[in-house]
Amino acid sequence: MALSPVALAKKEFMERAKQIWEEEGLPPLTPKSRWYGISLGSWSKQSELEAEIALKGDHYETGKKMEQEERKSTLE
């Protein structure tokens, strides 16, 4: 079953997964065209930044920022 490219992970993650697969000695993969996800441009720059922060394991930083923004908006 082929998935839509938007349902798949970014190329960098799919390449790393393929590398791990091969390192584990699993059967060879034969990726088809568009074997990784594509962006439809619906993520804002802020969302992209927050995703990168989460990948680094610093997801709590986004939470802190959201908390500060919430406090700021309630004071206005």
The full set of domain ranges for the chain reads 1-40, 43-76
* Opening angle at CA 40, ends 56 and 35, nearest 5: 75
The rounded distance, in Å, linking the Cα atoms of 19 and 28 is: 11
The rounded distance, in Å, linking the Cα atoms of 60 and 13 is: 22
DSSP string, 19-33: HHHHHTTPPPP-PPS
| Predicted confidence (pLDDT) per residue in 10-40, tens digit | 899 999 999 999 999 999 998 888 888 888 8
| Predicted confidence (pLDDT) per residue in 54-64, tens digit | 889 988 888 88
Give 10's Cβ-side CA count (13 Å radius).
8
Judged against a pLDDT cut of 70, whether residue 46 lies above it is answered with yes
